[in-house]
Amino acid sequence: LAKTTQPISMDSYEGQEVNITCSHNNIATNDYITWYQQFPSQGPRFIIQGYKTKVTNEVASLFIPADRKSSTLSLPRVSLSDTAVYYCLVGDPASNYQLIWGAGTKLIIKP
């Protein structure tokens, strides 16, 4: 099972672009990279998932280099409501329950 490493915490300001990088050196061929967001006392919420290159949706972009040993979640023009814990997960979608959740990155957005 691949493990991930991400910063424990990050600070930024409203209106800025925030990039959170996740390291996953042991990623396997069938593994996808998935990011979740979690607010206090709520369950995690799916943000984005990708396999390689770049994926973009209405809330974020995910950049994955060719070697796939890392990935970067990009949040454009953050607001105070983006303050949350962000989890990077790596695993085979066919067996998603085997994903190992780290402590995530606590992102604090300041006015």
Partner 1 sequence: ETGVTQSPTHLIKTRGQQVTLRCSSQSGHNTVSWYQQALGQGPQFIFQYYREEENGRGNFPPRFSGLQFPNYSSELNVNALELDDSALYLCASSLGGERYTFGSGTRLTVV
Chain contacts with partner 1 (rule: CB under 8 A): 34, 41-46, 49, 87, 93-104
In angstroms, give the least distance from the CB of 79 to partner 1: 22
Q: CB of 98: closest distance to partner 1 in angstroms?
A: 7
Min separation Cβ 95 and partner 1, Å: 7
Residue 97 vs 111, nearer CB to partner 1? 97
What is the smallest separation between the CB atom of 17 and partner 1, expressed in angstroms? 25
Are 13 and 110 a contacting pair, CB within 8 Å? yes
Residue closer to partner 1, measured from CB, 66 or 94: 94
Contact 15, 31 (CB under 8 A): no
Contact 104, 57 (CB under 8 A): no
Distances (CA, A) of 81 to 78, 85, 100, 101, 105: 8, 12, 26, 23, 15
The nearer residue to partner 1, 15 or 93, going by C-beta atoms, is: 93
- Which of 18/36 has CB closer to partner 1? 36
Alpha carbons 99 and 101: distance in angstroms, whole number: 6
